[in-house]
Amino acid sequence: MKKIILSLCLLQITWCKVVDQTWWKYTTMYQVFLPSFKDGNGDGMGDLKGLISKLDHFSDMGIETIYITPHFKSPMVDSGYDIMDYTSVNPLMGTMEDFETLIREMNSRGLKLVIDLVINHSSDQHPWFIKSIKNEKPYADFYVWKDPKGYEINGDPIPPNNWLSVFDGSAWKWNDERKQFYLHQFSSGQPDFNLRNKFLKTEINKIFEFWMNKGVAGFRLDAVKHFLEDKQLRDEPLSSPDIKVPYKCHDLKHIYTNNIPDTYEYIYEIRRYFNRLSKKFTDFERVLIIEDYARGDVLLRYYGTEKRQIAHLPLNFFFVEALLQSENASFYHNSINNYLTSLPEWATPTWNIENHDKFRKGYLFGEDFEFLSVLLVMMLPGMTYLYYGQEIGLIGSKIRPNQAANFFIDDLTQTSRDYFRLPMHWDDSLNAGFSTNRDLYLPLSPNYWRINVKSQKETEHSYYHMFKKIVNLRKTDTLKYGDFESYIISTWVYAFSRTFKGQSYIVIFNFGSETEFIDLHNCIDDLPRFSIIEVASPNSGYKVGDKLPTMQEIPTILILRPLAALVLSTTHSSV
């Protein structure tokens, strides 16, 4: 017989937010990994035409902002993050006319577009790099070039220092024509820019202006922590005394190549130019977002100060990186509150739990956990950043090594990142409605016949309908401006409330592996006679619209299954 334990409110913290109607502070931003979203020309790879054909999907969900991965011309060494022309469109993705059509069609639906911009490095096929090799002015110093530290006995040049690439091995590659090493913190096909060069920075500003004139709402700057490096090229210390010959990226402490003070100053330069450029547009404010996996004070510094703001939205990747399967309520309570209370009053929190570089949570921890993770970040205050397929519980799949399109691997699991970049499931037809081509650039997950947009739209109380409900709840004043109050209800049950002008939503999660029996009165005061279930995880056993008696006179025992979650509305009304 299972022991019934009524929960006790162990800890409670309140966080309040100033009301501000700026659009990007509360937006739901949906990341489209372009090659995997929808194929519009029948070549087996997603593209701009495919995205255009699915814009009504975003309107149906209630999504306001779409962020697309790089669409620029590229040799695709690193899925388009190696750019060879910053003012063009990759022929694999379409044409400039397609891009302009995308903007026009999005505008007609009230959607905003954010694009991924990579200015830490370019492709080694970029004309600037080719001219830099030849020492042509002004391109000679557009990249980080250094002489060898010396030569081996056999005559081989020795790299300038011990810096390592994100993809492991030396971050320096010898160029026999120029007779110098160039820095590449990613692949050797992605040479690092010298972002101290004033002529280069002027060219980069022109890129911002070009795409802003095309109608984009903002930019996500990729790999920001790598932007600038130590001028003295000092060796980085070993991360452990047990390491004899550093080879893997994490073998070193990256104190001279990650988030050095000069990087913050350069982002501030960009923000100042960005602000001046944005004054040309009166319809809405453009947004500058940065990608940096930093935490704590390192991340907070990218906000700047109220009078000297740097990025609008430094992305918070804590939950993306965290291994969440065995974490209890205290972990979520402490992690969320530590982040929120560390932010300046004027700063906007950001949340995301999946992206194109890290495993989907459902793949790691199961389909039920996928819904919990989405609900968690969607109901928290601030901007939420989603990954394509999360609206249907797409969790990815293993693929054979010969099926991978990208040879770089995830540093945690040492497996292909393509596991979580597989094509979107639109229906249960051939190739899941992703492409008319029988051959796809990546294979489908085998569960596409069961998990797809069409079937979930047609099924009441499906994952998709719950997702859509959450998106639209985020547009309410309560979730935009509401206070945040956090509760540890039991070891494995975590809850928080969002309250604004008498309206509250209470979000309850069971992160454990056993059914929990919860009395909300132990934690939450002044509950109305009845609460309404606004959102119920598909595995919860509850339905949207169900009334839950929460009157103070009698105990209210809420039965919550393992890895289940609910959102309750506690508006004081005639219900």
Active site residues: 222, 291
CA distance linking residue 355 with residue 421, whole number of Å: 9
If 0-12 CB within 10 Å is exposed, 13-18 middle and 19+ buried, where does residue 120 land?
A: buried
**What SS3 state is found at 409?**
strand
Distance of CA 368 to the CA centre of its chain: 21
Q: What is the DSSP letter of 328?
A: -
Phi, psi of 19 (to 5 degrees): -70, 130
Report phi then psi at 16, rounded to 5. -120, 150
Exposed / middle / buried, residue 484 (Cβ in 10 Å: 0-12, 13-18, 19+): buried
Distance CA 544, CA 464 (A): 13
User: Does residue 531 contact residue 548 with C-beta atoms inside 8 Å?
Assistant: yes
Distance CA 62, CA 542 (A): 24
Instruction: Look up residue 26 and give its two tokens.
Output: 């509360």
Question: Cα dist. 398→253, 281, 415, 417, 438 in Å?
Answer: 32, 46, 9, 10, 20
Burial call 184-200: b when 16+ CB within 10 Å, e when fewer: bbbbbbbbbbbbebeeb
3-state secondary structure of 351: strand
Pairing between strand 28-32 and 383-387?
parallel
Distance of CA 327 to the CA centre of its chain: 21
Residue 374: CB partners within 8 Å, gap ≥ 6?
353, 386, 390, 467, 470
- Strand partners of residue 394: none
Q: Please say whether the beta carbons of 444 and 423 come within 8 A.
A: yes
Pinpoint the alpha helices (H) of 392-543: 453-457, 463-473, 477-481
Tokens representing residue 271 in the block: 């923000």
